[in-house]
Structure 1
Amino acid sequence: MKWNSFVAALGLAAPTSALLRFGCSKLTIQRLDPLVNPGQNPSTHLHQIIGGNSFNVTMDPKTHDLAKLSTCTTCQFTEDFSNYWTAVLYFKAKNGTLKRVPQRAQQGMEGTQGGMVVYYMTDALFDTAQKSKVTAFKPGFRMLIGDVNYRSRDEARDFRQLTFICMQNEGTRAPETVEFPKTPCPAGIMANHRFPTCWDGVNLDSPNHRDHVAYPESGTFESGGPCPSTHPVRLPQILLETVWDTKAFNNKADWPADGKQPFVWSSGDGTGYSSHADYVFGWKDDALQKAMDGHTYVTAPMLKTQTIAQQNKCSVPDMVGEDFDSWLPKLPGDIMVN
């Protein structure tokens, strides 16, 4: 089902208030992480990155202004020079070798090379009113969601709504699981990363890149839960959707002999519980605040857009120089699956 039909089927066709939904093509795939491992080349594990082309090894928050230093972005809205990244999905075959799973564009965004779909919301995704006010992120703002070391359901409870969808078709949006799907997924695996929506109002970052943000003290962002007193400023909800094109790996005869699902994160996690994502704010001037204060649903006439062909042209040089696309005996960085 196409997105427009999907929206209309839920009664969301009429334009109302501020929700941004836009595609971003691949900027680069490299073993770099300037948020967690600044200055380290290579970093510990492989990431797929979208956004502005000032992305590099260090990105010192005191001097690195993404909006000023970037000359292009892989995102549809040309004012968004932010960087967003997640780990990379691999398939582990019966013989133990590993192959990177490609990303694919969602329907309506065909031609986009890899990448993700990004949402900024003032209320729940399917709340057509989108009536709440939010404060846009400030220059220098950064955050991380998820923990690369987690391997159990109990650990994963520290974070909300980091999920997977086993897509049966293009319109599949349920059920969501917190571990990797255990059966072949005809239309791929969608990974969802929803970031915290409450800010302390002071710190643009914190040592673990998490303490300056929080979840609502009760309920969820979608249910309108209030922010805790320690983090009183309500932020837009950022949701990242990545569709991993697993169709080439759906033959169960190629899956591990023990019958376990065959997909692993590039960090070595075969459970899915370590799902994580990074965000470095880079919107130009007050473009994001204006969009959040606007009155549109999905589209944003106050923002400038570019074609998918233009998005695909934006990239950064290979700064690591390693093979991550062949059939590999180990994950990049010699990481073992655990």
Structure 2
Amino acid sequence: MQGTGLLALLGVLAPVQALIRFGCSQLTVQRLDPLVNPGLVPSPHLHQIIGGNSFNVTMDPGSHDLPALSTCTTCQFSEDFSNYWTAVLFFRAKNGTFKRVPQIAQQGMEGTNGGMVVYYMSDALFDTAQKSKVTAFKPGFRMLVGDASITSRASARKYRQLSYTCMENQASRSPETISFPKTPCKLGIMANHRFPTCWDGKNVDSPNHQDHVTYPVTGSFESGGDCPSTHPVKIPQLMLETVWDTSAFNNQKDWPEDGGSAFFWSTGDGTGFSSHADYLFGWKGDSLQRAMDAHSYVTANMLKTQTIKEQNKCTVPDVVGEKFDGWLKALPGDNMITMKPTRFRA
């Protein structure tokens, strides 16, 4: 799929230097994946989705104007009608049954119904200068980071910036691991999804939803790594944080007696290596560009905002009609579990 030519892009778009951080409540939890499995009802595994209510089973690639199709969004910035989604986390008890792990809002966003915290940045997360020049996403842009089929550390290393944080409290941000934490987490497990930050400057999508973007040649976006010649355009570092409230499952007496994984993605993965996230750009007009041109840090006063109560009101219909609350004998979709034996210790 072709977008604006690279030379025209570089000549027209202003450099952007900013970091914005905001919360988005839950839009829906369903077995739908219009990026990887468009039109398939239900999709192979369960996802938790945030953003604009134009989200649907197909998300027609020919429809680039998500804001025109949406009437509300679950995000704090009410001009962001993008959609973001990840797999869902489950706890496995000693009797082999599963229970969906609830999500918890981050500090300052209390009252948010599930969801995630979203970042767009041009430099390292806590670099207040944000001096690097990046180019905002174009209408129709979409991408996927991670791979739902990965269950090995070697394969997971391809995606440099997908990680987990075992949270002692709301301030916990380290250490980060690429597999599920090996010990109980007092507050919960934060899943961190950082998307690639180099774009080919032409395609707003690719057949696997990944080839039009890539990581820097060396290091990472946050370390100032250069983009390769094949993907010369620096785009914002999009980062998602989801805090899964595992505190109710910290009693090891409830954990599997075989010493295996206690937590599983809805894909059936008990290692954590299959972590993945999807993104469909949907900011209204030039709102994201303006926000990033403002050289702001965390806040963006030029953008329209809404209350958490308003965010929580935005939903979409359940087209699958699947029950997944309470204790389940199997994961939704009856996905087979994959794990490495791991004896957690308190």
TM-score range relative to shorter protein: over 0.9
CA apart distance, 1:63: 2.5
Gaps of 5+ in 1: 1-16
Distance 1:214 1:295 in 2: 25
Distance 1:39 1:89 in 2: 24
What code does the residue aligned with 1:171 have?
Answer: A
Give yes or no for the alignment of 1:202 onto 2:194: no
CA apart distance, 1:292: 1.1
Match of 1:19?
Answer: 19
Match of 1:246?
Answer: 246
Match of 2:136?
Answer: 136
- Number of residues of Structure 1 aligned to a counterpart in Structure 2: 322
Match of 2:45?
Answer: 45
Gaps of 5+ in 2: 1-16, 339-346
What code does the residue aligned with 1:35 have?
Answer: L
Match of 1:126?
Answer: 126
Are 1:102 and 1:245, in contact at CA under 8 Å, matched by a contact in 2? yes
Distance 1:111 1:126 in 2: 25
- State the 4+ residue runs in structure 1 displaced beyond 6 angstroms: none
Are 2:92 and 2:99, in contact at CA under 8 Å, matched by a contact in 1? yes
Are 1:28 and 1:48, in contact at CA under 8 Å, matched by a contact in 2? yes
1:123-152: CA deviation from partner (whole Å, max 9, x where unpaired):
111111101111110010000000011011
What code does the residue aligned with 1:61 have?
Answer: P
Distance 1:147 1:94 in 2: 28
Distance 2:123 2:182 in 1: 32
Are 1:49 and 1:84, in contact at CA under 8 Å, matched by a contact in 2? yes
1:154-210: CA deviation from partner (whole Å, max 9, x where unpaired):
000110110000001111100000000111100100000000000000101001000
Distance 2:92 2:79 in 1: 39
Are 1:178 and 1:273, in contact at CA under 8 Å, matched by a contact in 2? yes
- Superposed, 1:63-212 pairs within 5 Å as 63=63, 65-212=65-212
Match of 2:8?
Answer: none
CA apart distance, 1:325: 1.0
1:58-79: CA deviation from partner (whole Å, max 9, x where unpaired):
0111025211100000000011
Distance 1:64 1:78 in 2: 18
State the secondary structure of the residue aligned to 2:278. strand
State the secondary structure of the residue aligned to 1:310. helix
Are 2:141 and 2:205, in contact at CA under 8 Å, matched by a contact in 1? yes
Distance 2:181 2:95 in 1: 21
Distance 2:91 2:145 in 1: 23
Are 1:183 and 1:261, in contact at CA under 8 Å, matched by a contact in 2? no
Are 1:133 and 1:293, in contact at CA under 8 Å, matched by a contact in 2? no
State the secondary structure of the residue aligned to 2:221. coil
1:76-110: CA deviation from partner (whole Å, max 9, x where unpaired):
00110000000000000000000000111001000
Distance 1:288 1:217 in 2: 26
CA apart distance, 1:254: 0.5
Distance 1:266 1:204 in 2: 28
Distance 2:266 2:244 in 1: 13
Match of 2:257?
Answer: 257
Distance 1:97 1:260 in 2: 13
CA apart distance, 1:261: 3.4
Q: CA RMSD in A?
A: 0.8
Distance 1:136 1:222 in 2: 17
1:291-315: CA deviation from partner (whole Å, max 9, x where unpaired):
1111221110110100000000000
Are 2:19 and 2:297, in contact at CA under 8 Å, matched by a contact in 1? yes
What code does the residue aligned with 2:236 have?
Answer: P
Are 1:205 and 1:212, in contact at CA under 8 Å, matched by a contact in 2? yes
CA apart distance, 1:259: 2.2
Distance 1:94 1:314 in 2: 37
1:23-76: CA deviation from partner (whole Å, max 9, x where unpaired):
000000000000000010100100000000000100111025211100000000
Distance 2:111 2:190 in 1: 18
What code does the residue aligned with 1:124 have?
Answer: A
Are 2:64 and 2:139, in contact at CA under 8 Å, matched by a contact in 1? no
Distance 1:174 1:280 in 2: 29
TM-score by length of 2: 0.92
Distance 1:331 1:188 in 2: 21
Distance 1:114 1:230 in 2: 38
CA apart distance, 1:219: 1.5
Distance 2:139 2:329 in 1: 41
Distance 2:237 2:293 in 1: 14
Distance 1:142 1:75 in 2: 18
Are 1:217 and 1:225, in contact at CA under 8 Å, matched by a contact in 2? yes
